[in-house]
């Protein structure tokens, strides 16, 4: 399994962090660590970095290191 770290500048409070966590988990990914403006995500064998970024952006959060 691959772990990625994404910079999400407008994810600044617990509500935003929960929204991003839910978006990732809905795809089958696992949040290993989430903090203001950054998330560490473990991908499963079928999940791609692009799919995670698309889900986060669909939830309303821009990923700056895509």
Q: For each of the chain's 66 residues, which pLDDT tens digit applies?
A: 899 999 999 999 999 999 999 999 999 999 999 999 999 999 988 999 999 999 999 999 999 986
According to the model, what pLDDT value does residue 66 have?
Answer: 62
Predicted pLDDT at 61: 97
CATH code for the structural domain at 3-58: 3.30.70.100
CA distances from 34 to 2, 4, 59 (A): 16, 12, 16
HEC sequence for 30-61: EEEEEECCEEEEECCCCCCHHHHHHHHHHCCC
């Amino acid at each position: 399994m691959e772990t990625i770290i994404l910079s999400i500048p407008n994810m600044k409070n617990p509500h935003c962090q929960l929204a991003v966590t839910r978006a990732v988990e809905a795809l089958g990914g696992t949040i290993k660590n989430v903090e203001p403006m950054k998330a560490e995500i473990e991908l499963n064998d079928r999940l791609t970095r692009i799919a995670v970024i698309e889900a986060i952006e669909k939830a309303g959060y821009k990923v700056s290191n895509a």
